[in-house]
């Protein structure tokens, strides 16, 4: 949303805690009322009224996906009890496809629609309601009248009787209606999640901008430390981009047993984290890394974006080759923000970087699918993995993060430490968001990178972005006076080349690594391994291979869908890599300048 306010008003009462500014608001053409009278049943009740476009019929739609999560989720599957009326008289309607209802409105001036939404999936991409709280992801709850997506909306929240707090980045209509919020268009409705219940609400400021934290669920968080650390992370992110395009921001945090990631929004984010992770250094850093990732999206994706990511078509997929920039670079900056905020030493940061490269290069699919292809096929591959995904594809998150690091080192080297990826991100932001207010194309991104680097980057893009060539990591890290070492180099340890999981007392194959021993020998996913070299196994199959040599033949007795088979094949050497990034003893002055600019900004 694009809103300008002359002042900020902090509103607090027994019913609601808000930090949002109020402004004069013209009458909305679309009005929603969201109720939850029986939260234990997991049903939200929605009423939507809107000005009819004076036609014989009007169509209302439920999105099939939500921005930031590239999978068709079919939100309409949770809708029931749909009705349409005008002037207290029912209107005839029919459902014409999976997510569209056609209402024969006969040119009435206003139409009312009611329906229920079953909400019992607590993720950052879906909605949830139970006796403890309600969480709304707009795309999964609020329909929209087709043709009125750019019109103003109002959303009135009717909390369950004992719930007193509503947290959202949407702006209240006025002080006398604390539970009624305004949206400039439907995109803003979708882009503004809502937490409802009796959660804790905390506040801090970054450069005078109020930030709020809505904390749901029990946890072992230290409030004062956490808020201070959030301020460090958000301040560092702001310094990287050199501009803070917000006048308020909201973190909705769900503390759960299993965690669950995050989803970015223009003025807020929703995070799901493991509730007991705040007390361990590893767990706490993972939470701060998630915070850094989603907050950096405030610029990268929500404002600076590829041309394919907006305007949104909520009926179908939208495509781009550049998710390796939108998500991958954001992952890269998440760790760099922790380093520059002081949560990691240089050594810890380099250890993390080495592990990320190891994980990437140990995925066979990195040599099959390019970063651009991974981005384009997110809808059908990344969010729909199967047992062969690691062999056939790569993640635009992890591949993009590594590309971001290498491109940064390339720019730093070419400019002798004077320019970096930070400069590229700021230039793109100023040009395409602030000046042109549109997304950038693949060609424009490359041209911008070349302008910062001071020369052509054809080989870099052809090899690492549109191709699958393994980067010469040692050369890139040497630019910063660092040694890149494979600790497993020259090792000849054998490997089965398959993952086996103990399921109900059975050794079941869950994946087979491309070109490994099991791949070449014909072991299949879902095979049950009964015996190795004539001996029954009841524990980890790898224990039965201890002491084996490369080239040694093994015999597996397997159960394949009821058929007992014997498979015989030789063991090949593992290709697992374990990289380290270590400092040179005597770096040059130029290498030191590159390292300092990279890690400290």
**φ, ψ at 529 (rounded to 5°):** -85, 120
Its CATH architecture, for the domain 199-275, is 2-Layer Sandwich (3.30)
Residue 8 pLDDT = 31
What is the C-alpha to C-alpha distance for residues 21 and 7, in angstroms, rounded to an integer? 7
- Which is nearest to 295 in space by CA: 219, 202, 232? 232
- Which is nearest to 22 in space by CA: 222, 251, 204, 177? 177
Which pair of tokens denotes residue 588?
């040059």
Domain 11-198 matches domain 199-275 at the CATH topology level? no
Axis crossing angle, helix 330-340 with helix 281-296, rounded to the nearest 10: 120
What is the C-alpha to C-alpha distance for residues 394 and 465, in angstroms, rounded to an integer? 12
DSSP string computed for 126-150: S-EE-SS-EEE-GGGT--EETT-TT
Residue 267, pLDDT > 70, answer yes
Q: Where are the domains of the chain?
A: 11-198, 199-275, 299-480+594-601, 494-573
Instruction: Give the mean model confidence (pLDDT) for residues 345-370.
Output: 98
Residue 100 pLDDT = 98
What is the C-alpha to C-alpha distance for residues 263 and 592, in angstroms, rounded to an integer? 37
Residue 174, pLDDT > 90, answer no
- pTM for the whole structure: 0.94
Report whether 185 contacts 155 (CB < 8 A): no
- Check residues 12 and 509 and name the one with the higher pLDDT: 509
What is the C-alpha to C-alpha distance for residues 394 and 268, in angstroms, rounded to an integer? 29
Q: How confident is the model at residue 243 (pLDDT cuts 50, 70, 90)?
A: very high
**φ, ψ at 378 (rounded to 5°):** -55, -40
DSSP string computed for 41-88: GTEEEEEEEEE--SSS-EEEE--S-BTTB-S---GGGGEEEEEEEETT
Is 366 in a helix, a strand, or coil?
helix
First and final C-alpha spacing in the chain: 30
Residue 11, pLDDT > 80, answer no
What is the C-alpha to C-alpha distance for residues 449 and 407, in angstroms, rounded to an integer? 9
Domain 494-573 has CATH 2.60.40.10: no
- Which is nearest to 166 in space by CA: 201, 116, 139? 201
Residue 545 pLDDT = 87
Helix, strand, coil percent content, the chain, rounded in steps of 5 = 30, 30, 40
Mean pLDDT of the chain: 94
Report whether 16 contacts 165 (CB < 8 A): yes
Which pair of tokens denotes residue 287?
């939470």
- Over residues 295-325, the pLDDT tens digits come to 999 999 999 999 999 889 999 999 999 999 9
- Over residues 398-419, the pLDDT tens digits come to 999 999 999 999 999 999 999 9
DSSP string computed for 483-529: EEEETTTT---EE--EEEEEETTEEEEEEE-TTSHHHHHT--TTPEE
What is the C-alpha to C-alpha distance for residues 259 and 415, in angstroms, rounded to an integer? 41
Q: How confident is the model at residue 20 (pLDDT cuts 50, 70, 90)?
A: low
Residue 5 pLDDT = 29
Instruction: Give the mean model confidence (pLDDT) for residues 361-379.
Output: 98
Residue 24, pLDDT > 70, answer no
Which pair of tokens denotes residue 155?
């959303």
Residue 582, pLDDT > 50, answer yes
Q: What is the DSSP letter of 120?
A: B
Residue 269, pLDDT > 60, answer yes
Report whether 214 contacts 195 (CB < 8 A): yes
Share of the chain above pLDDT 90, in %: 89
State the number of CA atoms in the 13 A half-sphere of 232 facing the CB: 18
- Over residues 125-170, the pLDDT tens digits come to 999 999 999 999 999 999 999 999 999 999 999 999 999 999 999 9
As assigned by CATH, the class of the 299-480+594-601 domain is mainly alpha
Q: How confident is the model at residue 542 (pLDDT cuts 50, 70, 90)?
A: confident
Axis crossing angle, helix 396-414 with helix 346-361, rounded to the nearest 10: 130
Instruction: Give the mean model confidence (pLDDT) for residues 571-593.
Output: 95
Residue 3 pLDDT = 33
Residue 260, pLDDT > 90, answer no
Which pair of tokens denotes residue 450?
């070349």
Residue 1, pLDDT > 60, answer no
What is the C-alpha to C-alpha distance for residues 322 and 314, in angstroms, rounded to an integer? 20
Its CATH architecture, for the domain 11-198, is Sandwich (2.60)
Length of the chain (residues): 601
Residue 539 pLDDT = 83
Sorted by sequence, the CB contacts under 8 Å of residue 161 that are 6+ apart come out as none
What is the C-alpha to C-alpha distance for residues 161 and 164, in angstroms, rounded to an integer? 8
Residue 230, pLDDT > 90, answer yes
């Amino acid at each position: 949303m694009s809103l300008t306010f002359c002042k900020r008003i902090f509103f607090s009462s027994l019913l609601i805690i808000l930090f949002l500014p109020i402004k004069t608001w013209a009458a909305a053409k679309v009005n929603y009322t969201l109720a939850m009278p029986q939260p234990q049943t997991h049903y939200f009740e929605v009423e939507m009224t809107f000005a009819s476009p004076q036609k014989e019929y009007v169509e209302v739609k439920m999105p099939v996906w939500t921005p930031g999560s590239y999978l068709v989720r079919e939100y309409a599957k949770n809708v029931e009890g749909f009705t349409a009326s005008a002037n207290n008289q029912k209107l005839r309607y029919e459902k014409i496809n999976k997510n569209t209802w056609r209402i024969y409105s006969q040119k009435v001036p206003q139409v009312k629609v009611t329906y229920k939404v079953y909400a019992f999936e607590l993720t950052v991409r879906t909605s949830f309601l139970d006796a403890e709280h309600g969480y709304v992801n707009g795309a999964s709850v609020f329909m929209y009248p087709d043709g009125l997506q750019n019109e103003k909306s109002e959303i009135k929240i009717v909390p369950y009787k004992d719930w007193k707090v509503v947290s959202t980045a949407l702006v209240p209509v006025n002080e006398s209606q604390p539970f009624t919020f305004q949206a400039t268009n439907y995109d803003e409705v979708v882009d503004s999640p809502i937490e409802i219940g009796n959660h804790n609400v905390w506040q801090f400021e970054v450069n005078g901008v109020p930030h709020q934290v809505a904390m749901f669920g029990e946890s072992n968080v230290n409030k004062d430390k956490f808020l201070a650390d959030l301020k460090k992370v958000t301040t560092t992110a702001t310094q990287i981009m050199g501009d803070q395009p917000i006048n308020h921001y909201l973190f909705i945090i769900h503390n759960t047993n299993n965690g669950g990631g995050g989803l970015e929004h223009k003025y807020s984010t929703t995070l799901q984290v493991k509730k007991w992770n705040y007390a361990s250094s590893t767990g706490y850093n993972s939470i701060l890394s998630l915070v850094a990732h989603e907050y950096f999206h405030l610029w990268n994706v929500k404002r600076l974006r590829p041309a394919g990511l907006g305007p949104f078509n909520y009926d179908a997929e939208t495509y781009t080759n550049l998710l390796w920039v939108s998500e991958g670079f954001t992952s890269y900056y998440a760790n760099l923000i922790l380093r520059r905020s002081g949560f990691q030493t240089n050594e810890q940061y380099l250890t993390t970087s080495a592990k990320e490269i190891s994980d990437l290069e140990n995925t066979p699919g990195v040599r099959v699918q390019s970063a651009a292809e991974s981005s384009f096929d997110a809808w059908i591959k990344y969010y729909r993995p199967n047992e062969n995904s690691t062999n056939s594809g790569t993640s635009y998150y992890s591949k993009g993060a590594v590309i971001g690091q290498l491109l940064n080192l390339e720019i730093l080297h070419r400019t002798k430490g004077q320019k970096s990826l930070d400069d590229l991100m700021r230039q793109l932001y100023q040009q395409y968001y602030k000046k042109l207010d549109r997304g950038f194309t693949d060609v424009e991104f490359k041209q911008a990178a070349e302008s910062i680097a001071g020369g052509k980057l054809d080989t870099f893009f052809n090899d690492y972005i549109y191709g699958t060539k393994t980067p010469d990591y040692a050369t890139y890290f040497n630019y910063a006076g660092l040694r890149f070492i494979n600790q497993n180099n020259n090792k000849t340890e054998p490997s089965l080349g398959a993952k086996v999981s103990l399921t109900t007392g059975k050794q079941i194959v869950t994946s087979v690594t491309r070109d490994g021993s099991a791949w070449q020998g014909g072991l299949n996913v879902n095979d049950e391994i009964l015996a190795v070299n004539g001996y029954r196994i009841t524990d980890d199959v790898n224990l039965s291979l201890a002491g084996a040599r490369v080239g040694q033949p093994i015999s597996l007795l397997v159960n394949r869908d009821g058929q007992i088979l014997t498979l015989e094949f030789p063991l090949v050497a593992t290709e697992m890599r374990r990289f380290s990034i270590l400092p040179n003893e005597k770096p040059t002055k130029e290498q030191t300048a590159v390292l300092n600019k990279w890690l400290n900004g």
